[in-house]
């Protein structure tokens, strides 16, 4: 994973343009509003773009009327400045009891109800892992039938103010890598996954656990 300084509004604009046809097909709006163009962050553009794509795509899936708005602003705390990206939808919302499990693997807030929405919910789990890998955090606020707001908080560089808060250089991961088990033979792992984001994150985790052989089929 390679961290570089990037304009956040450009990454947001790219993902909005990619997903706007998906929203319009459902009769929804997808727009960016109040984007602070001065804000940059030290991150892996490809990974973060995939994380943002997953969150916006999830918001579209769980919205029947109205749409999704993306905002970018500056936040302050602990003597530092942060980038705050908000993904706000007018969707079905999430109940209080489900807020605690919204980022858990293979969980959907609609499970146990009607399962009227596509997907396993793993996209949010992967997005959270990616955001944490680049030194950020993600939060969610929601009410049933009133929509949801996901907030991504990243260390930021604010151009104009000349205030830069860097995060330590990391080569692979920010989390503590467990001790590698003693393996006599290189394991062969079959990963069946048609989503490129999921494959990429799975490889990052597997490399932290043990050596392995992998092949890619296109």
Domain co-membership, 193 together with 92: no
Residue corresponding to tokens 């509004």? 9
Q: Is residue 135 part of a domain?
A: yes
Distance between CA atoms of 97 and 89, rounded to whole angstroms?
19
**Count of domains in the chain?**
2
Q: Give residue 113's pLDDT.
A: 38
Domain co-membership, 148 together with 208: no
Domain co-membership, 158 together with 190: no
Domain co-membership, 28 together with 101: yes
Q: Is residue 129 part of a domain?
A: yes
Which structural domain, as residue segments, surrounds residue 141?
4-164
Distance between CA atoms of 89 and 62, rounded to whole angstroms?
9
Q: Give residue 165's pLDDT.
A: 37
Task: Please name which of 38, 49, 43 lies closest in space to residue 11, comparing C-alpha atoms.
Answer: 49
The dihedral formed by the CA atoms of 69, 167, 104 and 63, expressed in degrees to the nearest 10: 0
Q: Give residue 148's pLDDT.
A: 93
Q: Give residue 206's pLDDT.
A: 63
Q: 26-55 pLDDT, tens per residue? A: 999 999 988 899 999 999 999 999 999 999
pLDDT, greater one: 156 or 181 = 156
CATH of the domain at 57: 3.30.565.10
Average pLDDT value for residue range 178-199: 63
């Amino acid at each position: 994973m390679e961290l570089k300084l990037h304009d956040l509004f450009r990454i947001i604009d790219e993902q909005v343009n990619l997903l706007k046809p998906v929203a319009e097909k459902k009769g929804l709006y997808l727009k960016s509003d109040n984007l602070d163009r001065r804000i940059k962050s030290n991150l892996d553009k490809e990974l973060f773009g995939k994380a943002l794509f997953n969150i916006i795509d999830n918001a579209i899936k769980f919205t029947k009327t109205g749409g999704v708005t993306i905002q970018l602003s500056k936040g302050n705390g602990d003597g530092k400045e942060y980038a705050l990206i908000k993904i706000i939808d007018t969707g079905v919302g999430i109940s209080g009891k489900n807020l605690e499990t919204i980022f858990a693997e293979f969980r959907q807030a609609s499970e146990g109800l009607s399962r009227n929405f596509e997907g396993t919910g793993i996209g949010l789990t992967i997005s959270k892992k990616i955001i944490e890998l680049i030194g950020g955090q993600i939060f969610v606020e929601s009410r049933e039938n009133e929509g949801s707001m996901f907030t991504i908080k990243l260390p930021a560089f604010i151009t104009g103010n000349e205030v830069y808060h860097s995060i330590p250089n990391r080569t692979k991961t920010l989390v503590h890598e467990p001790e590698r088990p003693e393996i006599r033979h290189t394991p062969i792992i079959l990963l069946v996954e048609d989503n490129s984001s999921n494959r990429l994150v799975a490889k990052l985790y597997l490399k932290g656990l043990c050596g392995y052989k992998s092949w890619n089929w296109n």
